[in-house]
Amino acid sequence: MPGDETAEQLLPLLVIIPIFAAAVLIAVGQRLPGRLVGAVTLIVVGLVGVGDTAALIITWHRRIVSWLGGWRPGRGGSGVGIAFQADQLSAGLILLAAGLMIVALAFSWHYFQTPGSHFHALMLFFLAGMTGFALAGDIFTMFVFFELMGVAAYALTGLKVEDPSAVQGAINFGIVNSVAAYLSLIGIGMVYARTGELNLAELSRSLAGDHSPFVVIAFVLLCIGFLVKAAVVPFHFWLDDAHAVAPTPVCVLFSGVMVELGLYGVLRVYQVSFADTAVADGIGRLLLVLGIATAAVGAVMCLLQRHLKRLLAYSTIAHMGMFLVALSTGDPESLAGIMLFVLGHAAVKGALFLCAGILLDRFGSIDEFTLWGAGRRLRGWDGIGVRSIFGLAALGLAGLPPFAAGLGKSLAETAMSEAGAGWGPAFMIIVSALTGGAVLRVWLRVVVGAGSEPEGIEAEGMSGDEEQMEVDVGEDIPNRMIISAGVLVAIGCGLGLVPSISAGVTAAAARFLDTHGYVAAVLHGRIGYPRAAAPAPPGWDLHGLLLSGLTMAAACAVAALAVLRPRLPGGQRPSRVVRTPVRLLRRMHSGRVGDYVVWLLIGVGVTAAMLAPG
């Protein structure tokens, strides 16, 4: 165990090392061969991953608080410097980001033939932005790293310069996220004007007990940027456009960790600074209503998509809805379940995106109908690999027992039913079944080739045929692509089996909700955790297994119904009562940035109305 000071001193290096490496790559990248640039990037991200793991191990026993430049606050308790704070949740998130990036870089080893190291430098900037955002203990520093994450993500989204398909997905993503960041900055200005402080712990002290409507408005404006990044309805429109055009390895990071960081931002700001204010009595209602709306829109749109990447993007939106609903109860058990669910979802969703990328590079299209029966045309080990990984990941997403996503879902379900939300488990099962069913439907049609050859069924929505191959792999799919997808599925399954993970997650949840512990650690240096009974690691119980089995059955039913619908009597035309709302929902996702900004404005009003006291 390193001395108690070294961890504090080295914590900021987790942000500085990737930026240093990116700067060096920009300077000399043109002259280095592509293979060396990729290797250097992988080594640097690996180094950051090792640092994150060390931070996670240390935060198992105490928090790490690092005041930049030695500007520790004086006796009066309010300082001028910036604080970094790492506890188990933030260390786990940055480790997840580094791990997903290692797999994404391994998958895209020879992706961009163009000279220069822009892709790798931007990925390192993206990692530094995510790490800095998760560690920041200062609302303006969170804004700066939110912008760094954004700028790197806009460039990575639009990187396929040759791609004739929906390249304006990057501009929608850029404009909507920037508008949200500026509204957050207005919120930061308001909080600063009222309290004269920017540090989260200091804000917690000066906002304690403040029940004026101002606090509610400041919280809403401050969290708009994070809610947009978390793709919560009505701010979610940019996510599917960005996924439709972004290269596959970037999509893995978007759905795996960037969207979850938005949710982390909301929770951290609320839990530390606004937990003892007028926001506290409205937050449960807000998360519940936004969660249900997000899950509903995500699940329905997920069933309507034929473009694989957009389908997976809507599945991520549906899962964000489930996370919000489970977190609305506000007790540690549901937070622990959601943490495990996020880890499992990131691994399994990443594997699905990689499989979609493999199909795109092998067959030149990512459209469900064009790829009908494509899985069978894959020969030998490639075919077996893709078919099994795609199937396992689809089942894992729907909550197959050994997978971490399934365990997280069942923990959240039991927590919600104990917290009095009896309808909770039913809601989670329905949404998981719908999204899992959609992905299983794709598995049946694309990989197994079930159902009739779809000719002439010109379903609406964006077809995936325009999408251009990212790298032409020809007949033989490179092994590194299949291995990286397999590794992600294995991680998704492993996380669910290792008991110490679920024990750590339960402890992390309790420590995240401990506001006084955070303030004492940051301001007064008391970084130890309060003595808490070592909780028995929650695992699979009969109740959980039963619910998971029910979810699996429902998901398979949805998939089978969707595939066999044309043959069923009268199954051709869905009834009018279904078609009109679906058409309305489809027209709302217009792909036009002006509409998205209008929805964002309406969202600001709706969020404030829901949080308004009384």
Partner 1 sequence: MSRRVRMILLVVGLLGAVTVLAVGVSGLPAFGGHHHPYRDLAVAASLRHATANVVSAVNFDQRALDTFGEETILVASVAGVAALLRPVRRERRRRRPDVPVMDSTRLLTAVFFPVTLLIGIDVMAHGAITPGGGFQGGVVLATGIHLLYVGGRYRLLERMRPLPLFEITEAAGLVIFIAIGAAGLAVAGHVFTNILPQGQLGRLISSGTVVLLSGAVGMAVVSSVVILLAGFLDQALALEEVPDTDQDSDGAEEAAR
Partner 2 sequence: MTAVLGYYPYAVAGAIVLLGLVGIAISRDLVHAVVCLSVCQSGTYVFLLAVGFQYGGVAPIFGSTVHRGTPVVDPVVQALSLTDIVVSAAVTSMLLALVIQIAKRRGTVDPDELRSLKG
Question: Is 218 one of the binding residues for partner 1 (CB under 8 A)?
Answer: yes
d(CA 261, CA 239): 14
Residues 439-458 that bind partner 2 (CB under 8 A): none
Which residues inside 438-457 make contact with partner 1, applying CB under 8 A?
Answer: none
572 binds partner 2 (CB under 8 A): no
Candidates 171-179, 260-268, 353-361, 391-399: pick the segment binding partner 2 (CB under 8 A): 171-179
166 binds partner 2 (CB under 8 A): yes
Nearest to partner 2 of 125, 353 (CB atom): 125
- Minimum distance of partner 2 from residue 172's CB (angstroms): 8
Question: With contacts defined by CB under 8 A, how many residues of the chain interact with partner 2?
Answer: 51
| Shortest distance in whole angstroms from residue 278 CB to partner 1 | 11
Q: Is 594 in the site for partner 2 (CB under 8 A)?
A: yes
Q: Is 400 helix (H, G, I), strand (E, B) or coil?
A: coil
Q: Is 122 in the site for partner 1 (CB under 8 A)?
A: yes
Query: Which stretch in 72-80, 240-248, 321-329, 353-361 sits in contact with partner 1 by CB under 8 A?
Result: 72-80
Sketch the per residue contact string, 152 through 191, with partner 1: x for CB under 8 A, - otherwise: x-xx--xx-xx-----------------------x---x-
Q: Which of residues 543-602 bind partner 1 (CB under 8 A)?
A: 587-588, 590, 592, 594-595, 598-602
The single residue among 1, 161, 534, 568 that binds partner 2, judged by CB under 8 A, is 161
Tokens encoding 346: 């990131």
The listed partner (partner 1, partner 2, none) that binds 449, CB under 5 to 8 Å by sort, is none
CB burial of 132-146 (b: ≥16 within 10 Å; e: otherwise) equals bbbbbbbbbbbbbbb
Buried b (16+ CB within 10 A) or exposed e, 37-65: bbebbbebbebbbebbebbbebbbebbbb
- Tokens 């099962």 map to which residue? 429
Check binding of 150 to partner 2 (CB under 8 A): yes
Query: What 8-state DSSP symbol labels residue 525?
Result: -
Q: Does 212 bind partner 2 (CB under 8 A)?
A: no
Using CA atoms of 585, 589, 594, 598 in order, give the dihedral in degrees to the nearest 10. Answer: 40
Going 233 to 584 to 174 to 258, the CA torsion angle's sign is positive
Residues 220-259 that bind partner 1 (CB under 8 A): 220-221
- The three-state secondary structure class of 366 is coil
**Region near partner 2 per CB under 8 A, out of 153-161, 200-208, 271-279, 323-331:** 153-161
Name which of 317, 319, 542, 296 is nearest 410 in CA terms.
Answer: 542
Contact 59, 86 (CB under 8 A): yes
Please report where in the chains the tokens 């490639």 appear, as a residue: 382
**Between 102 and 159, whose beta carbon lies closer to partner 1?**
159
Site stretch for partner 1 (CB under 8 A), options 147-155, 237-245, 373-381, 410-418: 147-155
Tell which one of 52, 87, 197, 368 touches partner 1 (CB under 8 A). 197
Do 442 and 372 form a contact (C-beta atoms < 8 A)?
A: no
Helix (H) or strand (E) holding 564, with range, is: helix 542-564
Three-class SS string for 19-88?
Answer: HHHHHHHHHHHHHCCHHHHHHHHHHHHHHHHHHHHHHHHHHCCECEEEEHHHCCCCCCCCCCCCEEEECH
| CB 392 within 8 Å of CB 310 | no
Residues 215 to 274: which contact partner 2 by CB under 8 A? 241, 244
Which of residues 444 and 600 has its CB atom nearest to partner 1 in the complex? 600
Contact status: 192 vs partner 1 (CB under 8 A): yes
Q: Is 26 in the site for partner 2 (CB under 8 A)?
A: no
Residues in a beta bridge with 65: 85
CA distance 84 to 63: 10
Q: At what angle do helices 88-107 and 479-497 cross, to 10 degrees?
A: 160
Cβ at position 457, least distance to partner 2 in Å: 15
Helix (H) or strand (E) holding 1: none
What is the closest distance, in whole angstroms, from the C-beta atom of residue 370 to partner 2 in the complex?
A: 16
- In the list 131, 165, 273, 548, the residue contacting partner 2 (rule: CB under 8 A) is 165
Rounded to 5°, angle at Cα 349 from 228 and 148: 40
**Segment interacting with partner 1 (CB under 8 A) among 53-61, 95-103, 113-121, 327-335:** 113-121
Residue 280 lies near partner 2 (rule: CB under 8 A) = no
Footprint of partner 2 (CB under 8 A): 140, 144, 147, 150-151, 154-155, 158, 161, 163-172, 174-175, 178-179, 182-183, 185-186, 188-189, 192-193, 241, 244, 304-305, 460-462, 466, 586-587, 589-595, 597-598, 601
